Amino acid sequence: MVSSLGKGIAASSIGALLESRGLRIAMQKFDPYINVDPGTMSPFQHGEVYVLDDGAETDLDLGHYERFTSASFSALNNVTTGKIYQSIIEKERKGDYLGKTVQVVPHVTNEIKNRIKMAAAKDIDVVIVEIGGTVGDIESLPFLEAIRQMQIDEGRDNVLFAHLTLVPYIRAAGEIKTKPTQHSVSAMRSIGIQPGILLCRSEKKISKSERDKIALFCNVEENAVIQALDVSTIYEVPRMYLNQKLDDIILEKLKIKKARKADLRKWDAIVRRIKKPALETEIAVVGKYLEVQDAYKSIKEAILHGGIANNCRVNIKWVDSETIEKAPAAAKALKGVSGILVPGGFGSRGIEGKINAIKYARENKVPFFGICLGMQMAVTEFARNVLKLKGANSTEFDRETPYPVISLLEEQKCVKDMGGTMRLGSYPCRLKPGSRIYSAYKEKVIFERHRHRYEFNSIFKERMEEKGMTVCGLSPDGLLAEAVEIKNHPWFVAVQYHPEFKSKPVSPHPLFKGFVKAAVAKNKFKKAKEIKG
Ligand code: GLN
């Protein structure tokens, strides 16, 4: 109905709920924009680009899906209009439609339906499909038409529509309003889609009589009008749905008989830990896309998971790297924090601020975690200030630098296209026994996801190691530095890959766990203040 209502969290929570009933699920997100994937979009436009094992650059909702469920994901699970048209046009050029006029209905809608059917192929009980955008958008119409047809193709008992709506609270009148929900359901019905379930987002409780009214006007059963109230943590949403028996309603409507009882104990435990932790600490995240709430989504969640593992509330202090390009400003902004994280990014804006933050962390022995660009800048900082290589830089920011400590891989040098051409997806990495990072993972070989073009330039490896920055993770062929650390420091770890994409509340990532643990120790195990509610 409107964006930012939390369709991704709603879909993920339904996924978690159905998995807890023993069903095998697949999840899929359709994005109606024309980009083939969000990989070429700025974080200001799109928020975070979430990377899957197979290297697909996807919508950040896929991150929610992975954090809430154990379903497996690949490029097939995030489909855009761009992807659909790309494959139709390829087929048309090959002559696959020879003689026919290629049209939105049936060719585009068939292509969409095929993707859903492909997602359902592998022993899956339920495919949860989320359609981005809002009802009434021109560009989402083919997707809505395709799911309408699905109900005919697969039978009405096999397709169920859930519509997420907003029930606003009008403060001046002291009332909530159901009319917008009625309007948006009526827009859905005008294109042939009758929702079976309404998830009504509201900041105030929706009374029984108002729910009855929504049910009547929207042609939905009363028990299927679900209140989706604001909650203090997103991980509480599966419990909120279970309390309203959403799982039973879905199973009944889809005529699924065999399913065990729901068990949300692990989610309840997570929520308890988040709401009432024993300890508290503060970590600074030094980034440059701070105006966009969602730009660092997975980083934020992974820090929260690190907190869960340490029974600790982590307050994040967001520091804009552009505001700390002078050392005193950096010291002022970072004073008192117990950990500093420098995440990934592109382009030269704010780079010097990141370097200042890293210098501050290294010199003041504040636990430091560098991710992707964060590692590249940690290497640059060390080269400049410890190895005294004046002007050391990444060639991304200074092509003429006398000391290119971060540079392009040979195979990247001839790349011209921007879309999907970075080093993307899961790669193995060998950890150095005895290193800090090895003791965090407790494994010799790990698999982590990448999204970058530039790499540590191994010409500088020996000099770096002599002065105390060691390469503690390498690609199996020994050529690429995937992780570095500084020994003479309480916790200074930087990695070329993106560990935040593999952290889940039920299994916090070992590096986020280790980082928060170091921050807790720095903060002298400060007890958490209780927050009511
Ligand atoms: N811009 C850097 C590169 O392309 C870092 C990318 C990132 O942080 N994801 O290598």
Q: Which residue has the higher pLDDT, 3 or 232?
A: 232
- For residue 346 and ligand 1, the question of a CB distance below 6 A is answered with yes
Ligand 1 binding pocket mutation candidate from 376, 406, 422, 498 (most atoms within 8 A of CB):
376
Percent of all residues in the chain with a pLDDT value above 70, rounded to a whole number: 100
Would the pLDDT of 265 be above 90? yes
For ligand 1, what atom is nearest to the CA of residue 343? 8
Q: Which residue has the higher pLDDT, 46 or 153?
A: 153
| Average confidence (pLDDT) over 24-45 | 94
Q: What confidence category does residue 241 fall into, taking pLDDT thresholds of 50, 70 and 90?
A: very high
Contacts of 330 (CB under 8 A, 6+ apart): 324, 353, 356, 357, 359, 360
- CA–CA distance, 466 with 449 (Å, rounded to integer): 29
- For residue 296 and ligand 1, the question of a CB distance below 6 A is answered with no
Residues 336-370 pLDDT 10s:
999 999 999 999 999 999 999 999 999 999 999 99
Q: What's the gap in Å between 280 CA and the centre of ligand 1?
A: 31
> What integer pLDDT is reported at residue 416 of this predicted model?
80
Nearest residue by C-alpha to atom 8 in ligand 1: 344
DSSP 395-452: TTT-TT-SSEEEEE-HHHHT----TT-SEEEEEEEEEPTTSHHHHHH--SEEEEEEEE
- To 5 degrees, how large is the angle CA 150–CA 152–CA 156? 90
Bridge partner residues of 315 (DSSP): 282
- CA–CA distance, 73 with 55 (Å, rounded to integer): 11
> What integer pLDDT is reported at residue 372 of this predicted model?
98
Active-site annotation holder among 372, 381, 429, 455: 372
> What integer pLDDT is reported at residue 363 of this predicted model?
98
- CA–CA distance, 523 with 462 (Å, rounded to integer): 34
Q: Cα 236 from chain centroid? A: 18
> What integer pLDDT is reported at residue 133 of this predicted model?
87
DSSP 288: S
Q: In whole angstroms, how far apart are CA 305 and each of 105, 134, 259, 270, 343?
A: 45, 31, 30, 9, 16
Q: What's the gap in Å between 118 CA and the centre of ligand 1?
A: 33
Tokens (6 digits) for 373: 């660009």
- CA–CA distance, 45 with 350 (Å, rounded to integer): 19
> What integer pLDDT is reported at residue 375 of this predicted model?
98
- CA–CA distance, 154 with 148 (Å, rounded to integer): 10
Q: What confidence category does residue 226 fall into, taking pLDDT thresholds of 50, 70 and 90?
A: very high
Would the pLDDT of 530 be above 80? no
Q: What's the gap in Å between 393 CA and the centre of ligand 1?
A: 14
Tokens (6 digits) for 170: 């009008």
- CA–CA distance, 443 with 430 (Å, rounded to integer): 9
- For residue 344 and ligand 1, the question of a CB distance below 6 A is answered with yes
| Average confidence (pLDDT) over 39-58 | 93
Going by C-alpha positions, the residue among 366, 372, 374 that lies closest to residue 282 is 366
> What integer pLDDT is reported at residue 533 of this predicted model?
56
SS3 111: helix
> What integer pLDDT is reported at residue 532 of this predicted model?
65
SS3 213: helix
- CA–CA distance, 465 with 188 (Å, rounded to integer): 62
Going by C-alpha positions, the residue among 418, 429, 410 that lies closest to residue 497 is 429
Is 372 labeled as catalytic in the residue annotation?
yes
Tokens (6 digits) for 203: 């900041």
Task: Identify residue 142 by its one-letter amino acid code.
Answer: P
Active-site annotation holder among 46, 145, 500, 509: 500
> What integer pLDDT is reported at residue 279 of this predicted model?
97
Instruction: Kindly report whether the peptide bond that precedes residue 106 is cis, defined as omega within 30 degrees of 0.
Output: yes
Hunting for tokens 């009214």 — which residue is that?
213
CB 299 within 8 A of CB 249: no
Main-chain dihedrals φ then ψ at residue 343, nearest 5 degrees: -85, -175
Percent of all residues in the chain with a pLDDT value above 90, rounded to a whole number: 91
| Average confidence (pLDDT) over 193-210 | 96
Tokens (6 digits) for 291: 């105006």
DSSP 435-450: SHHHHHH--SEEEEEE
- To 5 degrees, how large is the angle CA 356–CA 357–CA 363? 85
User: What is the radius of gyration, based on Cα positions, of the chain?
Assistant: 25
Is 500 labeled as catalytic in the residue annotation?
yes
Note the pTM of the prediction, 2 decimals.
Answer: 0.96
> What integer pLDDT is reported at residue 378 of this predicted model?
98
Residues 383-441 pLDDT 10s:
999 999 999 999 999 999 999 999 998 777 878 888 888 999 999 999 999 999 999 99
Residues 90-103 pLDDT 10s:
999 999 999 999 99
**37-63 in b/e burial notation, b at 16+ Cβ within 10 A?**
bbbeeebeebbbbbbbbebbbbbbbbb
> What integer pLDDT is reported at residue 529 of this predicted model?
85
Is 400 labeled as catalytic in the residue annotation?
no
**Sequence-ordered strand ranges (E) for 6-137:** 25-31, 50-51, 57-58, 78-80, 126-131
Q: What interhelical angle do 7-20 and 61-68 show, nearest 10?
A: 20
Hunting for tokens 């804006």 — which residue is that?
349
Would the pLDDT of 246 be above 90? yes
> What integer pLDDT is reported at residue 76 of this predicted model?
96
Q: What confidence category does residue 458 fall into, taking pLDDT thresholds of 50, 70 and 90?
A: very high
Hunting for tokens 């807890």 — which residue is that?
20
